[in-house]
Amino acid sequence: MALGAALGLALTVPGVASAHPGETPPPPAKQPVATGWGGAVSSVDPDATRIGLDVLRRGGNAVDAAVATAAALGVTEPYSSGIGGGGYFVYYDARSRTVRTLDGRETAPAAMREGAFLDPATGLPIPFDQGVNSGLSVGVPGTPQTWNTALRKWGTTDLRAALRPAQQLAERGFVVDATFRDQTAANATRFDDITPTAKLFLPNGQPPVVGSVFRNPDLARTYDELGRKGVDWFYRGGLGREVVRTAQRPPVAPGADRVFRPGLIETDDLARYRVLDQRPTRIDYRGLDIYGMAPSSSGGSTVGEALNILETTAPPRMDEVGATHYYLEASRLAFADRNRYVGDPAFVDVPLRGLLADGFAKERGCLIDPDHAAVSPVPPGDPTAPYQRRCAPSGTPEATEPIEGLSTTHLVTADRWGNVVSYTLTIEQTGGSAITVPGRGFLLNNELTDFNFAPLTPGVPDPNLPAPGKRPRSSMSPTIVLKDGRPFVAVGSPGGATIITTVLQVLNGRVDRGLTLPQAVAAPRLSQRNGAATEVEPGVPASLRTALEQRGHVLKANPEIGAVAALEFLPGGRIQAVAEPARRGGGAAGVVRPEN
């Protein structure tokens, strides 16, 4: 029997096989670290991780497992991901020893213009909340085509088989935990404004109770049809027409508190959508090859530039205060350049080579004062100019920091052959646009709010303004690190613009600060994005806070930054999967054959 057929018949959610028909098993236990052989999966959700591991156990590869895991997250993490959104897929192919990427970012409709988010009466940007809760913010989804493209290029099974375990999960349901309930409660006043959203996520008008079983039969049917009919059903067929109708005329509930603006998306926009197979970004950092996403994501360029700055300025071993200071300052400078230069390369001439050049990193790094924090916003540099060993900023500081939604999800997979996937996907805000496609069980994204509503600095070209067919700039940073040409670490995170600083801090901790990967993931986080203040989690020690403040850092509390999923290849052929021990309720790491 072909592998695809075997997977299609055999894949089940762990524990379901022994249950009575229709019975939902208890939630699988979460563990943040797992070490062993044969492959690994890490995600924020134990059901999704178990599904990915089952794919690997039955002969699937890392790509098969990644798509199956992502589809399961569309069930259990519907406010962060799903077929109504998009994402970025980074893949290491063990046979060719190359890294490839898929840009599955959402695109703006053909009817969207630069002033789409401006109030026609005033010429000023509409309130951000009105952009989020709106058909206007719905971009052309890229996730279904990303899954199909990844499987066709690098997988061993087909979309129907990859979707089947998630379909079964949606039918039988999962046990509601505190994170799911809290996210629902936080969005309840949005969700009850849209009839199908309230019906699905607010049973009896209330968030689901912790310990209850949440089923999504509409999504199960949608996955079943998508598997049977293929992605053309989404991009050129009936499901696409339903998506367009819903975005253009959001199904607003009687008595809704909000006015949901009509969307601009048309069926032709869906038919024109393409996932982009493109080269990754790459830098050499202390002998390691760091691969990430090129624009339209700013993740690879900004993480890469910040690491280059650290390599030119900070020794690999420093005390905690010094290392943290240099990490924050490198991030501050890299974000200044990101905001000025990075956008969709189909519309903007992004100086990617210059941003990742060692000479440019030296010019930027020499601006770091080892004893004093810079005052944000710092001006961008000029990555297009030849390296002149100068130490002076150029340009005008950006006036404000762009706003990005914090909700996304990330997963990593590896198989017994050494293939690796690092995949970040999203619907933008927690709960996306709040608009559920009637009878389909999934939310539509509000990804177009990642565009700047107006130029950040009047009179200065802005690379991230809306345009027809344009992909909004993203901070998603799925990353794969090679050592001597072989996989070493794969990492990524949700968190809007804090994704970049989270990935950067984990890599800095693992490579430079002597931390194990579990320690680097668990460590309390700080995030500086060329803003007035540096965000800090509660776990940052008081002594470190005081020392940073003495150097001029302005600190602001943030209860939670990021939610990492990562893995590392260890000696002896072992793989260590790592997930969050506590953030976002804790993640779930697993390996095919545990060492214990």
Strands 276-278 and 98-104 come out as antiparallel
Listed in sequence order, the DSSP H helices in 158-237 are 159-172, 178-186, 188-191, 195-201, 217-229, 232-235
The DSSP line for 359-397 is HHHHHHHTT-BTTBPPPSSPPP--TTSPP-------S--
Which residues 6+ apart lie within 8 Å of 364 measured at CB? 305, 309, 333, 334, 337, 381
DSSP secondary-structure letter at 401?
Answer: P
Strands (E), 475-586: 479-483, 486-492, 526-527, 534-536, 555-557, 565-569, 575-579
Q: Which secondary-structure segment (H or E) carries 42?
A: strand 33-43
- From the list 408, 426, 449, 502, the catalytic residue is 408
Residue 141 contacts residue 85 (beta carbons within 8 Å) = yes
Residue 475 contacts residue 496 (beta carbons within 8 Å) = yes
Backbone angles phi, psi at 182, to 5 degrees: -65, -40
Residue 527 contacts residue 498 (beta carbons within 8 Å) = yes
Single-letter amino acid code for the residue at 337: D
Q: Which two tokens stand for residue 259?
A: 């006015």
Whole-number Å distance between alpha carbons of 412 and 419: 11
Whole-number Å distance between alpha carbons of 300 and 478: 8
CA distances for 358 relative to 328, 363, 387, angstroms:
19, 9, 9
Whole-number Å distance between alpha carbons of 405 and 385: 33
Q: Report the candidate in 203, 198, 73 with the shortest Cα–Cα distance to residue 143.
A: 73
Q: Report the candidate in 494, 497, 501 with the shortest Cα–Cα distance to residue 409.
A: 494
Q: Report the candidate in 421, 431, 429, 430 with the shortest Cα–Cα distance to residue 565.
A: 421
Q: Which secondary-structure segment (H or E) carries 36?
A: strand 33-43
Whole-number Å distance between alpha carbons of 594 and 181: 32
Q: Report the candidate in 434, 550, 564, 449 with the shortest Cα–Cα distance to residue 78.
A: 434
Residue 265 contacts residue 140 (beta carbons within 8 Å) = yes
Exposed/middle/buried for 514, CB within 10 Å: 0-12, 13-18, 19+?
exposed
Q: Which two tokens stand for residue 261?
A: 């603006």
Helix (H/G/I), strand (E/B), else coil: 567: strand
Asked if 408 is an active-site residue, the reply is yes
DSSP secondary-structure letter at 491?
Answer: E
Which residue numbers are catalytic? 408
